[in-house]
Chain A
Amino acid sequence: MTKFALKGLLGRKLRTALTALAIVLGVAMISGTYVLTDSIDSAFDTIFTEVRRGSSAVVSGKAAFDLSEGSGTSAPAFDARVLETVREVDGVALAEGSVDSESTTLIGRDGKAVVNGGAPNLGFAIANGESAFNPLALEQGRWPGPDEVVIDTGTAEDEGFEIGETIGVQAEGAVERLKVVGFVRLDASISIGGATLAGFDLPTAQRLFEKEGRLDEIAVAASAGTTDAELIRNLEAALPEGTQVQTGQAQAADDAAGTNEFITFLQSFLLAFAGIALFVGSFVIANSLSITIAQRAREFATVRTLGGSRRQILVSIVVEALAVGVAASLIGLFLGLGLAKALFWLFDAVGFTLPNSGLLFETRTIVVSLLVGIVVTLLASLRPAIRATRVPPIAAVREGATLPESRFARFRTAGSLALTALGFAALGYGLFGDGLGTTQLLIWLGLGALLIFVGVALFAARLVRPLAAALGAPAARIGGAAGTLARDNARRNPQRTASTAAALMIGLALVTLVATLAAGITSTFRGAVDDVFTSDYAITAQNNFSPIPIEAAEAAAGAPGVEAIASTRTGEARVFDTTEFVTAVEPDSGEVITLEWKEGSQAVFRELGDDGAFVDDDYAESHDLSIGSPVTVIVPSGKRLRLTVQGIFDPPTGGSPFGRVTFSSETFDREYQSPRNLYTFIQTRGDITDANTEALEGALADFPNAKSQTRDEFVDNQIAALNQVLNILYVLLALSVIVSLFGIVNTLVLTVFERTRELGMLRAIGMTRRQVRRMIRHESVITALIGGVLGIILGVVLGALLIARVDFIEFSLPTTQLVVFAILTVVVGILAAIFPARRAAKLDPLKALQYE
């Protein structure tokens, strides 16, 4: 019997391959995700361990509370004299101090900063090139002395720098030109992604990073016979307040915490899309199997007359599915390697280069990919397999034997509606239920969406007739007889058309959902920026979001035509026992930023002084704040700022442009290490003119990583970041659409096969090959459009629901995108039809008629 099952697959190679594709892609995505994230993870781990390789212990500055990674706020540097203390501690063989920075930009030959997406621009102090603490390996040249720099070989090559030349380096101040004396790489010889490296001697680094007389870290090597634990104990006893010590390994783990979090997020994020693709794939598989099984009803009946039991039929189909699942999962597993490469490339292309130390193929990747692929295939095959067992033996002798309707067929409509309702209920609970954590919320949303998709897919069979009539009308008009036949064919087996369309529906619903959310965010954000930022110009980093040195704004202030200029800075602080973002504003802010004040007025900006603060009304309400209320803000150094509320504003719909608490830049600069600007806004004489634009650009010449832009450009640039995220989402969802496209191809191929006789007859009575092709194409487009229309409607509805939940986004219909999606749907239909239509047209009319 097993042989019978497997032979069946070989006898239907094409159909089997098409069915398997749906699983191959989903599994490839799973395996690709794991390979990608494991590879990045291992690359980062190697980097971080390598950096701490020679350190028994690491002394670092201690913040008063845990800072979140990548917030831009770092633990305060400590007094350089601590190094002397450390060197005298028992068991210390060697100790060296260093400073570092993640925003030390190198300036390329074109005068532009070498910045690759969000990758860090690392700057180090190299106290002693030969020391075991130095994580860098010299590839060429020598280690740096005063006012000299070593840079990574990658940047040197990309930008064409030679040893002995000077290169622009910008850390906290204006660009300085330093002499390049060597090329370096990380000792571990790992690609560092888009990151750049710059190494200086300690005094130069301290000057560049504005940490004169201070250190970020001291690396310590234990003397022979001293254990790490002893060393730590001795150091702890000797170290002053504001510093901490841990083993090199612990420090490496700490260093890696941020990236690990990011990698875990990336992994879940990508796996979610793999899951979606597999979900769509399961529809495709179930549908293809249903069709093949219907076509083989007579075969199963014959086996029954030969004494085959229901169980044997079931087993034979499940064995088939198992074989398909195993083969597809294996192919997908290895395709995942290629996909991981492609993803590296994709991230690179959107300016998000990731470090890479070669692709990593873990056992877990193999196990999970195969297991998920096989289980999904088996589950998808179950329903068709059970239906096949219900084929009665007498079907062997009846013409046009059909599968018996399922016992539950009559509950189908009610059941599908109930499922849909249940889905909306789950979704609603997720959205509006009280006290749900993020994970719970996501689970409820996912479950709701899943139920809705299944429910609508089941119900869709009822919608096929009217939809096909409506959507097929143009086909019937332009396609003549072929078009009319196409429309009727699409309606012939509503169940089949519906399941085929449902796969596409899911992909399109999600794409539409994303577009709807994006449209809401964009339009609301645009409105908010319009309301709040009333300046002519803005200055941001080239990448629109990295903080830039304050000197950039100071340089711009000197440009002719500048009437008012004010910057905002952000950092982390503890307020009311929670770590929050806080904002600092400059006195002139009132000229460039307009808030709607509930209490206080625009004058508040100027009057903040040493201890003033303002908050938004939500925050004021939840902490019972009013004018005059005290707010204690604990900064990373541990110092408590006792501020007084001077104003309360009503944030625009797009959300507050500020952190929870806003105070003066004067206070901020005093308490935060290396303060930087996030945005600078400028009011100019005569508003936006070419002269003003040029003047600002000229003033920023020494700050290549800063760019001035008009207000409109600023808004567009801020939204561009969102668009980049959107593009990634679209690319990932495209996978599901491709899977559903294969689903349509599959259905059409099976249908053509099934209608061989009929096609022969049509050809015999004078239908041309062109007409046959057109008929198949129209049927494909109609099927795709049914999925498209349902998906777009569902996507808009889901999007509207999500937006209803989020206060700071307003619904806005993404009309252009929806039109694009509709066109895309037609294109999917046309693409899907190419191959089946060609097969149908190739049929020899005579052969087709003889076909049994």
Chain B
Amino acid sequence: MENGSTGAVVQADDVTRRYGEGDTAVEALRGVSLEIARGQLTAVMGPSGSGKSTLMHILAGLDKPTSGSVSIAGTEITRLKDSDLTKLRRTHIGFVFQFFNLLPMLTAEENIVLPLGIAGTKVEPGFFKDLIGKVGLGDRLTHRPAELSGGQQQRVAIARALVSQPTVMFADEPTGNLDSQTSSEILALMRDSVDAYGQTTVMVTHDAQAAAIADRILFLGDGLIVRDLPRSSQADVLVAMNELTAA
């Protein structure tokens, strides 16, 4: 890979994003620069409306910045054509959504292998078996999403994001729609995938418990990165959050 084994896989340079125009315009991001290191789990924290989702969408190429540049695995993506962006997604990007976004008519297993079908590639049998074992769906693999609990659905979604072994996996509030017990399980799974596969992951959350599993925590406030913490305990994260909201 272009940036070497320890370099940044995602790079943002002075990214701004404005929604709307004139009086009603909202500056969701006001100049964000960052680098995401390979093999790390990076959490993006911040209060509601601070621009977390906006940042993630732009980093993942779902949305275009108003200004600034973003590159993934060395490719500048803000000016890519739709078809090139599609190719980039196939090899470099995985997604985990807050609302799972599974396709209702496909079984869990079919959902998991869908990205491969789309890209027209095959999975390594060894890796696939390991992955299925890791997400722990057991006999639920032949069930449809409607027959699965929220936690199970999110496991399927994580497996789907991992199956193509993307350069970076993005997750926007992956536990935002789950109870705390299930959240812990999902977080453990995410952590596990980083440790076992060295999966570079960017996770947006406003939950301190979630942030505590990260190798690095970026705090966003009002469209700017206001704090950059290394791995911290849940208590430290809470303290940092309180300081920010107080400020």
Residues of A within 8 A of B (CB): 1, 3-4, 7-8, 10-12, 298-299, 302-310, 312, 392-394, 396-397, 852
With contacts A307-B90, A396-B97 taken as known, whether A3 is within 8 angstroms of B117 at the C-beta atoms is yes
List 23 A–B pairs whose Cβ atoms lie within 8 Å, in order of A's numbering. A4-B106, A4-B114, A4-B117, A7-B105, A8-B103, A12-B105, A299-B104, A302-B101, A303-B114, A306-B95, A306-B115, A306-B118, A307-B93, A307-B115, A307-B119, A307-B164, A309-B86, A393-B62, A394-B57, A394-B62, A394-B63, A396-B62, A397-B98
User: CA A394 – CA B61 in complex, angstroms?
Assistant: 9
Tell whether, in the assembled complex, residue A11 and residue B57 are in contact, meaning their CB atoms are under 8 Å apart: no
Tell whether, in the assembled complex, residue B63 and residue A306 are in contact, meaning their CB atoms are under 8 Å apart: no
User: CA A7 – CA B95 in complex, angstroms?
Assistant: 23
User: CA A10 – CA B98 in complex, angstroms?
Assistant: 27
Please classify how large the interface on chain B is, using the bins under 10, 10 to 19, 20 to 34, 35 or more. 20 to 34
**Given A307-B93, A394-B57, A397-B53, 5 more pairs with CB closer than 8 A:** A11-B104, A11-B105, A302-B101, A310-B86, A392-B62
User: CA A12 – CA B57 in complex, angstroms?
Assistant: 31
Least CB distance, B149 to chain A, in whole angstroms: 13
With contacts A305-B95, A852-B99 taken as known, whether A1 is within 8 angstroms of B57 at the C-beta atoms is no
When distances are taken between beta carbons in the complex, the residues of chain B under 8 Å from A310 are 82-83, 86
Question: Is the contact region of chain A dominated by helix, strand, or loop, or is it mixed?
Answer: helix
User: CA A53 – CA B90 in complex, angstroms?
Assistant: 74
User: CA A309 – CA B89 in complex, angstroms?
Assistant: 10
Least CB distance, A12 to chain B, in whole angstroms: 8
Most buried by B among A1, A393, A394, A852: A393
Tell whether, in the assembled complex, residue B118 and residue A303 are in contact, meaning their CB atoms are under 8 Å apart: yes
When distances are taken between beta carbons in the complex, the residues of chain B under 8 Å from A396 are 62, 95, 97, 101
Least CB distance, B36 to chain A, in whole angstroms: 18
Least CB distance, A393 to chain B, in whole angstroms: 5
Most buried by A among B57, B97, B103: B103
Name the residue of chain A whose CB is nearest to the CB of B160: A306
Residue from the list B53, B82, B103, B105 in contact with A302, Cβ < 8 A: B103
Tell me the number of A-to-B contacts counted with CB atoms below 8 Å.
74
Residue from the list A308, A393, A394 in contact with B118, Cβ < 8 A: A308
Tell whether, in the assembled complex, residue B89 and residue A305 are in contact, meaning their CB atoms are under 8 Å apart: yes
When distances are taken between beta carbons in the complex, the residues of chain B under 8 Å from A298 are 101
When distances are taken between beta carbons in the complex, the residues of chain A under 8 Å from B90 are 307
User: CA A559 – CA B152 in complex, angstroms?
Assistant: 98
When distances are taken between beta carbons in the complex, the residues of chain A under 8 Å from B89 are 304-307, 393
Least CB distance, A65 to chain B, in whole angstroms: 70
With contacts A4-B103, A307-B90, A308-B86 taken as known, whether A397 is within 8 angstroms of B118 at the C-beta atoms is no
User: CA A8 – CA B95 in complex, angstroms?
Assistant: 22
User: CA A308 – CA B93 in complex, angstroms?
Assistant: 12
Tell whether, in the assembled complex, residue A304 and residue B86 are in contact, meaning their CB atoms are under 8 Å apart: yes
Tell whether, in the assembled complex, residue A307 and residue B105 are in contact, meaning their CB atoms are under 8 Å apart: no
User: CA A392 – CA B85 in complex, angstroms?
Assistant: 12
When distances are taken between beta carbons in the complex, the residues of chain A under 8 Å from B160 are 306
User: CA A306 – CA B60 in complex, angstroms?
Assistant: 12
Q: Mark B196-227, 1 if CB is under 8 A from A, else 0.
A: 00000000000000000000000000000000
Most buried by A among B62, B87, B104, B115: B62
Name the residue of chain A whose CB is nearest to the CB of B146: A852
User: CA A1 – CA B121 in complex, angstroms?
Assistant: 12
Least CB distance, A19 to chain B, in whole angstroms: 16
Q: Which of B103-140 contact A (CB under 8 A)?
A: 103-106, 110, 114-115, 117-119
Name the residue of chain A whose CB is nearest to the CB of B99: A852
Tell whether, in the assembled complex, residue B101 and residue A312 are in contact, meaning their CB atoms are under 8 Å apart: no
Tell whether, in the assembled complex, residue B97 and residue A397 are in contact, meaning their CB atoms are under 8 Å apart: yes
Tell whether, in the assembled complex, residue A1 and residue B62 are in contact, meaning their CB atoms are under 8 Å apart: no
User: CA A197 – CA B97 in complex, angstroms?
Assistant: 80
User: CA A396 – CA B99 in complex, angstroms?
Assistant: 9
Name the residue of chain B whose CB is nearest to the CB of A393: B62
Tell whether, in the assembled complex, residue A307 and residue B118 are in contact, meaning their CB atoms are under 8 Å apart: yes
Tell whether, in the assembled complex, residue B106 and residue A7 are in contact, meaning their CB atoms are under 8 Å apart: yes
Task: State the 5 A-B residue pairs at the shortest beta-carbon distance, nearest first.
Answer: A11-B105, A307-B90, A307-B89, A302-B101, A394-B62
When distances are taken between beta carbons in the complex, the residues of chain A under 8 Å from B99 are 852
When distances are taken between beta carbons in the complex, the residues of chain B under 8 Å from A392 are 62
Least CB distance, A737 to chain B, in whole angstroms: 33
User: CA A318 – CA B103 in complex, angstroms?
Assistant: 18
Least CB distance, B164 to chain A, in whole angstroms: 8
When distances are taken between beta carbons in the complex, the residues of chain A under 8 Å from B95 are 305-306, 396
Name the residue of chain A whose CB is nearest to the CB of B161: A306
Least CB distance, B39 to chain A, in whole angstroms: 22
Tell whether, in the assembled complex, residue A305 and residue B62 are in contact, meaning their CB atoms are under 8 Å apart: yes
Least CB distance, A319 to chain B, in whole angstroms: 14
Least CB distance, A311 to chain B, in whole angstroms: 8
Least CB distance, B119 to chain A, in whole angstroms: 6
When distances are taken between beta carbons in the complex, the residues of chain B under 8 Å from A397 are 53, 57, 62, 97-98, 172
User: CA A346 – CA B216 in complex, angstroms?
Assistant: 80
Name the residue of chain B whose CB is nearest to the CB of A2: B117
When distances are taken between beta carbons in the complex, the residues of chain B under 8 Å from A11 are 104-105
User: CA A10 – CA B103 in complex, angstroms?
Assistant: 13
Least CB distance, B113 to chain A, in whole angstroms: 10
Tell whether, in the assembled complex, residue A299 and residue B115 are in contact, meaning their CB atoms are under 8 Å apart: no
Name the residue of chain B whose CB is nearest to the CB of A312: B118
Tell whether, in the assembled complex, residue B118 and residue A1 are in contact, meaning their CB atoms are under 8 Å apart: yes
When distances are taken between beta carbons in the complex, the residues of chain B under 8 Å from A3 are 110, 117
Least CB distance, B219 to chain A, in whole angstroms: 22
Least CB distance, A500 to chain B, in whole angstroms: 25
Least CB distance, B152 to chain A, in whole angstroms: 14
